């Protein structure tokens, strides 16, 4: 059951959302450390733990944490495991803070780093804790993350330092625009990064130190979830900027058509247009036309929200001479 107090009705500065799945050994300590850190910050806050259908002793640990910090910790529970993204969506919907911070519940993210993210809002709408300082994950995870970052950077025309980091702070009124896009699994960070960038919001990356996992094992499957990450990247680009995909594909098909035409001329020794060249040129034309139609549809269906976060600089008043 959710824990509500009259104090919450007066407003909250920061809501910290933790998706939790079978973290009975660590979750109580994480929540205690979070409460102590946020209490020392001087901000009004709440911590929302979303148990995603854990079958171990996690619910009991959360109940004890709830009783140890009444009015500060709130707990929601899915009756069955629905996925990391579903837990984040639930927590953000329940959040009342002006800024929502999401982080993992496995001990890799330090609550002390929350201050680094919060001090960037404003002017930024999304601040991502980038794992650029001593990342200790496996080499193949690092290689995969590097690929996702470069691929997304090319598609968005913006350097992305860490696409999949789950440690991030964002304005609640902004992320609420994108909650319907959240997938059930581990692709919610990818979705928010791509959506914020393509919708014109201000995004920055802050280096953080990632610690060793203190309990359990990573629940991310490299191949299954990796394919989902790529799909989410393409999905967000198709939603906001489909020509970024269709145009290069059409160009490559045209170049292959030219190569097939030249090869046909070389083999036949006379002016001829081989069937392979005709097929490739037709495919290129259809790709460009489909891209234009998709771009028109995206332009009519997608709302651009970035203008609401433009910051105007004002001239500083000139110093006045002191009275004699």
pLDDT tens per residue across all 324 residues of the chain: 444 444 444 578 899 999 888 787 788 888 888 888 888 888 888 989 888 888 888 888 888 888 877 788 888 888 888 888 888 888 999 898 899 999 888 777 888 888 889 988 888 999 998 876 555 555 556 677 677 777 777 777 788 888 878 889 999 988 888 888 887 776 788 888 888 887 888 889 988 877 655 555 555 555 565 676 677 777 777 776 777 788 888 888 989 988 888 888 888 777 777 888 888 889 888 988 887 887 766 665 555 454 455 555 556 566 665 555
Residues 108 and 256 occupy one common structural domain: no
Residues 145 and 23 occupy one common structural domain: yes
Greatest C-alpha distance within the chain = 97
Domain of residue 202, residue span: 6-240
pTM: 0.70
- Residue finishing a domain among 204, 224, 240: 240
- Classify residue 319: in a domain, yes or no: no
Tokens found for residue 4: 């509500």
- Classify residue 1: in a domain, yes or no: no
- Classify residue 84: in a domain, yes or no: yes
Cis peptide before 239 (omega within 30 of 0): no
Sign of CA dihedral 277, 280, 284, 289: positive
Q: In the chain, how many domains are there?
A: 2
| Whether 24 contacts 61, CB under 8 Å | yes
CATH code of the domain in which 78 resides: 3.90.550.10
- DSSP summary character for residue 187: T
Residues 165 and 295 occupy one common structural domain: no
Residues 235 and 248 occupy one common structural domain: no
CA 127 – CA 227 distance, rounded (Å): 25
Residues 137 and 229 occupy one common structural domain: yes
Residues 257 and 111 occupy one common structural domain: no
């Amino acid at each position: 059951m959710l824990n509500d107090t009259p104090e919450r009705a007066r407003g909250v500065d920061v809501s910290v959302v933790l998706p939790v799945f079978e973290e009975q050994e660590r979750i109580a300590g994480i929540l205690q450390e979070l409460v102590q850190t946020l209490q020392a910050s001087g901000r009004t806050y709440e911590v929302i733990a979303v148990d995603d259908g854990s079958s171990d002793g996690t619910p009991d640990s959360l109940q004890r944490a709830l009783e140890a910090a009444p009015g500060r910790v709130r707990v929601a529970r899915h009756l069955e495991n629905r996925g990391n993204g579903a837990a984040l969506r639930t927590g953000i919907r329940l959040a009342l803070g002006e800024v929502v911070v999401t982080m993992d519940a496995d001990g890799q993210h330090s609550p002390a780093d929350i201050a680094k993210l919060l001090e960037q809002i404003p002017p930024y709408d999304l601040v991502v804790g980038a794992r650029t300082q001593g990342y200790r994950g496996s080499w193949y995870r690092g290689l995969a993350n590097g690929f996702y970052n470069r691929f997304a950077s090319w598609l968005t025309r913006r350097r992305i330092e860490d696409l999949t980091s789950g440690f991030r702070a964002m304005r609640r009124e902004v992320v609420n625009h994108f909650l319907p896009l959240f997938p059930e699994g581990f692709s919610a960070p990818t979705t928010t990064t791509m959506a914020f960038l393509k919708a014109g919001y201000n995004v920055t990356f802050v280096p953080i130190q990632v610690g060793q996992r203190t309990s359990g094992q990573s629940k991310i499957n490299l191949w299954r979830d990796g394919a989902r990450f790529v799909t989410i990247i393409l999905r967000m680009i198709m939603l906001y900027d489909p020509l970024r995909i269709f145009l290069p594909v059409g160009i490559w098909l045209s170049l292959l058509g030219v190569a097939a035409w030249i090869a046909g001329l070389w083999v036949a020794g006379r002016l001829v247009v081989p069937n392979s060249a005709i097929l490739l040129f037709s495919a290129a034309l259809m790709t460009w036309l489909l891209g234009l139609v998709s771009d028109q549809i995206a332009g009519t269906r997608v709302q651009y929200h970035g203008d609401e976060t433009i910051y105007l600089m004002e001239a500083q008043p000139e110093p006045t001479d002191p009275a004699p």
